[in-house]
Amino acid sequence: MGNDSDDLTAAMAQYIPEPRPGIEQRVLRHVRTAQKRRRRYWTLIPVLPLLVLLVLLLLMLWPRPVPVVVRVTPTRTLPLVGQAVPPAHKRHHREKVQPFPTPAPLTEEEKALQALAASRPQEAQQLLAHEDDKPIEIPQLQIPPLQSDGGR
Amino acid sequence: MRDAARESLLVTRFESLVERQAKFVFRVAYAVLRNPEGAEDVVQETFLKLYRNRAWEGMENERAFLARVAWRIAVERIPRRGAELPELVSQDANPEDALLTSDWMGAVHRLVDALPEELRQVLALSGIEGLNSREIAEVAGIPEGTVRTRLQRARQLVKQKLESMGRSACGK
């Protein structure tokens, strides 16, 4: 039994093989390389904010195209929610765009003015100019003093 | 100037630590992984980790400390479904055949490989020179009593199997 135990101990001592020769050098090389790589990353850290600033400056100084504004006039109004949509042949009639201001027939005075401007344009111009050039006269305010009724 | 001298001294000390213990760390990693390439990766990772956090400067029992670090790294690398583990078992078809061809050592190793993982790891660590039950317990993070029980059980299983194989070999 004791012999078996010794044999097993001896077998277990050889259970794990030897590493490939030069493992120490490979480990040290690996550590050195990893440290160098790490140092390189650290030196990049102060450079990064500078790069970001540079990009921001370039973006600010770069000429931008002027935006083109396009005005879109609505051609028709949408029906309100719940409102019945009229059939297509009636809808066409409704959607006629009304001019603003709404045209109305000329009054008698406007017709007379139009006739005067057509026959005697200079006089009509003078007449209109005089009326416009007149300075505005504001009559002096005359407010009578308040009269008391003796406390009544 | 003084910092540079101190750094140089530390590097020298670290290099001598690697020279002293690289093979030992390899054995610990191999006991877990049973894969020489994986074990060497663990050795490199272990020493790189130590170098970076400088924990090695104040360690009391350097072998136990290194074994613990290597063990943890190796355990993290164990394949989930044990894909790499049966490598040695599958090299030769049958341990009994190996015994018949007088490859007794190989047969024992294959029997050890066939043990449950918790028993195998403890038995493999016991084969590394200088690791006693207390240190194995520290490395594996289990009580010393458990280590002893597992060692005893593992040895018993291997012996039983060897005996039965010997009988069947004589019978043939």
**CATH number where B144 lies:** 1.10.10.10
Kindly state whether residues B57 and B124 are assigned to the same domain.
no
CB contact under 8 A, B51 and A16: no
Which residues of chain A lie closer than 8 angstroms to B158, CB-CB? 8
The confidence score (pLDDT) of residue B33 equals 92
Per-residue HEC secondary structure of A44-85 comes to HHHHHHHHHHHHHHHHHHCCCCCCCCCCCCCCCCCCCCCCCC
| Alpha-carbon gap, residue A66 to A46, rounded angstroms | 36
Kindly state whether residues B24 and B105 are assigned to the same domain.
no
> Is B43 within 8 Å of B22 (Cβ atoms)?
yes
pLDDT mean over B91-107: 60
> Is B106 within 8 Å of A11 (Cβ atoms)?
no
AA identity, residue A140: Q
CB contact under 8 A, A20 and B36: yes
Instruction: Supply the DSSP symbol for B43.
Output: H
pLDDT over threshold 80, residue A3: no
Closest residue in B to A34 (Cα) is B48
Residue B160 domain boundaries: 86-172
The confidence score (pLDDT) of residue A124 equals 79
pLDDT over threshold 60, residue B108: yes
Which residues of chain B lie closer than 8 angstroms to A28, CB-CB? 15, 18
Kindly state whether residues B102 and B77 are assigned to the same domain.
no
- What confidence category does residue A141 fall into, taking pLDDT thresholds of 50, 70 and 90? confident
Of A7, A20, A27, the CB nearest to B18: A27
The confidence score (pLDDT) of residue B143 equals 94
Of A5, A12, A19, the CB nearest to B127: A12
pTM over cut 0.95: no
Of A15, A18, A19, the CB nearest to B109: A15
Domains contained in chain B, number: 2
Among B54, B84, B114, where does a domain finish? B84
Kindly state whether residues B69 and B96 are assigned to the same domain.
no
Kindly state whether residues B49 and B30 are assigned to the same domain.
yes
Among B50, B84, B118, where does a domain finish? B84
| Alpha-carbon gap, residue B126 to B154, rounded angstroms | 11
Among B84, B103, B118, where does a domain finish? B84
| Alpha-carbon gap, residue B169 to B172, rounded angstroms | 5
Q: What is the pLDDT of residues A38-86, one digit of tens each?
A: 777 777 777 888 889 999 999 888 877 776 776 766 665 555 666 666 6
Kindly state whether residues B2 and B73 are assigned to the same domain.
yes
pLDDT over threshold 90, residue B28: yes
ipTM at complex level = 0.75
